Homo-oligomer: A and B are copies of this chain.
């Protein structure tokens, strides 16, 4: 049942989307081609492959790819496939290929940029259509690779807008992310969380700027934190509880947050906590000091004042500037998604800033955390409920029709607006139709 342009167009209304968008495997296949097969997708961070030969094998949509540091010092992104019999050349995960790739099946070798290097006993290939110079006999490179402040993206389409234009306003989050490092650069931590969500990938994107869910979905953690403080007679909420409890802010709090949406599906929401006052909190203060040393006081303050919660880079995932993480969102199937969570060190910042980011991630993002499981549960419930005939549409009515245009995007008139979701599906529709 191939979808016509009209049918796809009809799935997205200005204030709601058809539930089949989350449940139809056919649409998922189309997304793999028209979205993940075309747009810029985050592959990994530069610092994951510091030395020549280092690689990170991962997926873009349904494609196994390998990000590698080649002899030119640049990061390349190749399909993880040997052109001989098709074997994945490196296993999933991280490693070092050495000076070149060597396929484990028959030992064909490839330069780190994927170019054919050698096949054993070459004589047997002479006089045949085998041609070492043809891309048919190399590990193929993805059509386009670029990076923004160390964050490496790739696109499988040769044509299309360049990366900076694609990122648009979301660049400011990556900028602030890196600016928070006195040396202007960040370094990925050694390990990551990987969390399986039994729901469609788009559900996670919608949740990232969904300010209305926090109080309700996370009520058990909010209440537990409050009860703990009370039971233990603590004078103030320790940070590790505050980051749970803060979800319980009254609606008025959420309404005041700034929500900014950008073209191509991106957006961000204003920060919901200050990890600590730069005056009183010793970690924040020490961080501030290193920034002053690096940038001067004005700029340092400017950088730390740019307080954002989740930023969305549609199709890639979500950087969090204040707690230095990047949540990569990988669709696995129509009802299964992998969330991969990286934490970063800010180069030149005190180690405590990194430890605080680890702590935040352990407490909030770990699959064993107080917070994440409830999100996973409601996502799963959406996936299940949307199989039923209990209604055709998924609502995004909140503050629909009130969004204000800004340069390259829209801004919400209220922090509880469902603008980010509408913005995502607007982009989704464009992607799905453009490539039809």
Question: A-side binding surface: helix, strand, loop or mixed?
Answer: loop
Interface residue? A387 (CB, 8 A): yes
Binary interface profile of A, 28-45, with partner B (CB < 8 Å = 1, else 0)?
Answer: 000000000100000000
How distant is the Cα of A91 from the Cα of B216 in the complex, in angstroms? Answer: 16
Count of chain A residues near B, Cβ 8 A: 76
A395 to B105, CA, bound (A): 13
A384 at the interface (CB under 8 A from B): yes
A127 surroundings in chain B (CB, below 8 A)? 401-402
Q: CB-CB < 8 A to A140: which residues of B?
A: 389-391
Q: Which of A82-90, A158-166, A329-337 contacts B (4 or more CB under 8 A)?
A: A82-90
Q: How far is the CB of A218 from chain B (nearest CB, A)?
A: 10
Task: Identify which of A68-76, A118-126, A181-189 touches chain B.
Answer: A118-126
Contact B382 A87 (CB under 8 A): yes
Contact partner of A212 (CB less than 8 A), chosen from B65, B106, B377, B381, is B106
Stretch at the interface among A128-136, A236-244, A347-355, A358-366: A128-136
Cβ of B381 and Cβ of A87 under 8 Å apart?
yes
Cα distance A64–B417 in the bound complex, in angstroms: 30
Contact (Cβ within 8 A) B128 A64: no
Task: Point out the residue from B104, B386, B389 that lies within 8 Å of A217, measured CB to CB.
Answer: B104
Known contacts A85-B395, A88-B382, A140-B390; 19 additional CB pairs below 8 A are A79-B390, A81-B385, A81-B386, A81-B388, A84-B394, A86-B382, A89-B381, A89-B385, A104-B374, A104-B377, A105-B216, A120-B212, A124-B398, A124-B399, A124-B416, A124-B417, A125-B397, A128-B397, A156-B389
